[in-house]
Structure 1
Amino acid sequence: MVRWVTISSDEYESMKSTLEILSDPELMQQIEESREDFKAGRYTELRELEKNSNSTDTLIS
C-alpha cells in the first residue's frame, strides 16, 4: 500500500530547519541553558533594554 502526505514548501522547509536544530547538540545545550535562565528569572525585558539603550529607535517596531 502506497501512502503519501502533501505539504507546502514552507512547511517542508520549516521541518528541515527544525531537524537541523534538533540534530545540533551544541545548539540544543544552549537552548536548554536559556530555558533554565528564563525559569530562574535571569533575563531582561524588552522595555528595560529599550530604556537603557542610547538610541531613540525601538528595538522592535
Structure 2
Amino acid sequence: MIFVKLLGIVAVSAYFWGVWKFWKGYGRTNFQPSLPSRIVLSAFWPALILVNKSYRQNFQKALKGR
C-alpha cells in the first residue's frame, strides 16, 4: 500500500516537473507563442510525447535548450 502511494507521488511529481520544464523552455520551440497554446501543450505533454514526433522534438528543445 505504501509503495502504491509512493508511486503515485512520484508520477504526479514527474508530471508537474514536465509541465514546469516545458513551460520555462517554451520559447525555444516552434509552437505558436500564445497563452492558450502554451497551456494546452504544457498540460498534455505526456500524451503528446507518446503520439507526436514533432512534439517530442520540440519538447527536447524546451528541456535541453537545443
TM range (shorter): 0.3 to 0.5
TM-score (norm 2): 0.32
Higher helix share: 2
Structure number, greater radius of gyration: 1
Bigger relative contact order, structure 1 or 2 (CA pairs below 8 A, ≥6 apart): 2
